[in-house]
Amino acid sequence: MFLRIPLAFALCGIAAFGAELPVRQVVLYKHGIGFFERAGSLGPGESARLDFKAAEMNDVLKSLTVTESGTGKISGLRYDSSIPLAQKLESYPFRIENGQPLSAVLDQLKGARVEMQFGTEKVAGAIVAARVVPGDKDRAEREQVTLLLDSGDLRVFDLAAAVAIRFTDARLQTQFRDYLGALATSRSKEKRSLYIDSTDAKGRDVQVSYIIPTPIWKSSYRLIFDNTATPTLEGWAIVDNTTGEDWTNVQLALVSGKPISFISALYEPRYVNRQTAELPEDASVEPTLHEGNTSEVDVLAAAPSAGLAMNGVVGGVIGGVPGGAAKFKELQQFSRAQRAPAPMAAQSVVVNAAAREIGELFEYRIPTAVTVKQNESAMLPFLQQKISSRKLVVYSDPTAVNPQNAAELTNTTGKTLDGGPITVYDAGSYAGEALVETVKMGDKRLITYAVDLGTRIATNVDSKGAVVREIHVQRGVMTTRTSYVETKTYTIRNVDAKSKTLIIEHPVRDLTLLSPKPKETASNVYRFEVALPPNSTEKLPVTEENLYSNTTTVSSMTPDVLLTYVQNKNLSDAARKQIQQIVDLKNQIAAADSQYRIVESRVNNLIRDQDRIRQNINSLNQVSGQQQLVQTYSGQLAKQETELAAMRDRQAALQTQSGALQATLDSDLQKMDF
């Protein structure tokens, strides 16, 4: 038999609902968070309960602020812990398992005093034991409890006969209530409750603000070209309510911009591992192990412990990021300020949102109260104004043949235009679609929305060879700047019988633009504007130059290479004279070196010839009758000795000359400067 009877303590486990604080204001941002403001009244001693998803708690604890008015006081804030259910239930002296009979619960509480009511009879005593009595063929299974009554008697009671059971120990009664409350809370894995408590004195008016993760709001536009000179721009905001509760008659604001936001883990409990420290005299002496010449020493290194400061409740505010409370108070003040909506355009949309700057952000505030049911979305108009624009044709894809129909929008609305898709209507018909990023007041953007089949564009690239534009020499090091010129010619054919204005977007590269001057320059393109008369062909040549530098030492360059720089028309006369002087010195050194090699070759030939003659003389001296021939060889040898001495003198002179020329060259190289 399982638990079937009404129990007083079970009713105590039902959580009481707090006072309602409905949502009054919602501010949605573009970076994934929403600002919410709730307001309501708390009676004396009453608490307000706010329910959140578990994933929202970190942002709530970081940003929650409470503003109060009246004579009572807010006594504190509390919220459901994220401690696992099993860990919460460990401290209780009993367990209530799924399908567990009541007798099994009571049997865990031996000695506890209970009061039981059987009809009009009440009994009281201490629990001795409780059990399930198995049934048989004559009797069904039943539950029994044995009590030690105040009279000293032990009596057995059937639990099925009891109409009420009550623990007389208030502490045990509270434990049962808290245990059942923890079980009830755990059934909702996503929901977490936060309670705002007040004193028992008097009532309070409470205003609560916080941020939680929300879907970003999305914007879409309609650009309407009509018979007037200035088109109309309509803006619509798409918002999604995924909070799990209705937004009923809330003040809704939409903020364009992306303030910095992050998640700080404040909800999950944090634990710090502390070091273990003991007095040295309390430690026991360990035996020492002696092994040969190796001694073993145990060193206990104490690691520093880390500390963690947790944000808490201070003056009715749960702590968050520095300055967070002041910023949210500023938002609250913004919400209370009276704003006059901008004049409405005479179009199909009759609502225009009030817009204003908030620092670096921009806010659109819907002027009327908005209702969005939970898990529903809404589409709300926030802009309808004339905007400065002109129709263009834009060519930005070099692989395409046709340019695209476009519009140049100048933000003259006095408001920041949030980025989003634009649907273009022309003369009452759908004309195409475009995307635009956020446009600040006074800024300008191009949008392209269709292919212009009445204009064709072809391109041709012509390049010129490398030309040395600049030559500089300093202390024997030459630096040259070489130019590579490229011209890309756009040939445009307008086959329509109407004039057009073409914008050619030419990519910005690592080149210097020589001509023509662009109409404007973006971060990655030059924009050139070309007027296209009806049925006409136009050409636009774009000339760019690539300049690159090269450095080398003049001493390593041959005279022939240096002469090519002498002939460069960009070289000054003074520079040309310096290079020519270096060329002359290098030629003189080369001539001296050539003469030295000729003399050196003659010296080597004479030495080899003398060796041959000496060998012949030695051979002839051993043969009689050869004296005349020996004298002839001796005469040749003496003549060669005279020539050899002259050649050696010539070698020395050429070495001296070459050294002097090299010294002059080195000096002139160091003096070169142009």
Mean residue pLDDT of the chain comes to 80
pLDDT value at residue 138? 77
> Is 249 a residue whose pLDDT tops 90?
yes
* Whether 235 contacts 384, CB under 8 Å: yes
For residue 295, the number of C-alpha atoms closer than 13 Å in the C-beta half-sphere is 2
In terms of Cβ atoms closer than 10 Å to its own Cβ (0-12, 13-18, 19+), residue 671 is exposed
Calculate mean pLDDT across residues 530-555: 90
Render pLDDT for 598-656 as a digit per residue (tens, 0 to 9): 888 888 888 888 888 888 888 877 777 778 887 887 888 888 888 888 888 888 888 88
Band the pLDDT of 266: cuts 50, 70, 90.
Answer: confident
Give the integer Cα–Cα distance in Å for 208 and 194.
12
* Whether 443 contacts 387, CB under 8 Å: no
> Is 502 a residue whose pLDDT tops 90?
yes
Judged by DSSP in three states, 211 sits in: strand
For the entire predicted model, the pTM comes to 0.59
pLDDT value at residue 614? 84
Calculate mean pLDDT across residues 98-109: 86
The CA radius of gyration of the chain, in Å to the nearest whole number, is: 50
Q: Which is more confidently placed, 428 or 287?
A: 428
- Angle of helix 627-671 relative to helix 573-620, nearest 10 degrees? 160
pLDDT value at residue 75? 67
Long-range contacts of 575-583 (CB under 8 A, 24+ apart): 575/471, 575/473, 575/674, 578/473, 578/668, 578/672, 578/674, 579/473, 581/668, 582/554, 582/665, 582/668, 582/669, 582/672, 583/559
Band the pLDDT of 15: cuts 50, 70, 90.
Answer: very low
* Whether 328 contacts 335, CB under 8 Å: no
Buried b (16+ CB within 10 A) or exposed e, 319-353: bbeeebbebbeebbebbeeeeeebeebebebeebb
Which of 180-189, 229-238, 472-481 is least confident? 180-189
Calculate mean pLDDT across residues 32-54: 87
Which of 132-146, 413-427, 609-623, 641-655 is least confident? 609-623
- Spatial CB neighbours of 628, under 8 Å, sequence gap ≥ 6: none
> Is 344 a residue whose pLDDT tops 50?
no
pLDDT value at residue 360? 65
For the chain, the straight-line distance linking the first and the last C-alpha, in angstroms and rounded, comes to 110
Helix (H) or strand (E) holding 204: strand 204-213
Q: Residue 663's Cα: distance from chain center in Å? A: 63
Band the pLDDT of 150: cuts 50, 70, 90.
Answer: confident
Judged by DSSP in three states, 196 sits in: strand
Judged by DSSP in three states, 226 sits in: coil
pLDDT value at residue 190? 65
pLDDT value at residue 268? 75
pLDDT value at residue 303? 37
Give all domains of the chain, ordered by start, each with its CATH number.
Answer: 387-453 (no CATH), 457-556 (no CATH), 561-671 (1.10.287)
* Whether 231 contacts 81, CB under 8 Å: no
CA dihedral for 611, 614, 619, 620, sign (positive or negative): positive
Q: What single string gives the DSSP state of each residue in 133-174?
A: EPP-SSS--EEEEEEEETTS-EEEEEGGG-SEEEES-HHHHH
Q: Which of 57-61, 293-297, 618-622 has the highest mean pLDDT?
A: 57-61
Q: Residue 620's Cα: distance from chain center in Å? A: 102
Q: What single string gives the DSSP state of each residue in 396-455?
A: --TT-SS-EEEEEEE--SSS-B--EEEEEEETTEEEEEEEE--B-TT-EEEEEEEE-TTE
Cα–Cα distances in Å, from 27 out to 228, 255, 380? 36, 7, 14
> Is 586 a residue whose pLDDT tops 50?
yes
**Cα–Cα nearest to 182, from 78, 40, 111, 81:** 81
- Token pair of 508 as six digits: 């910005």
- Token pair of 169 as six digits: 């120990």
pLDDT value at residue 481? 81
* Whether 147 contacts 154, CB under 8 Å: yes
Give the integer Cα–Cα distance in Å for 647 and 553.
35
Band the pLDDT of 200: cuts 50, 70, 90.
Answer: low
pLDDT value at residue 287? 58
> Is 297 a residue whose pLDDT tops 60?
no
pLDDT value at residue 174? 83
pLDDT value at residue 186? 63
* Whether 489 contacts 435, CB under 8 Å: no
Band the pLDDT of 12: cuts 50, 70, 90.
Answer: very low
> Is 223 a residue whose pLDDT tops 90?
yes
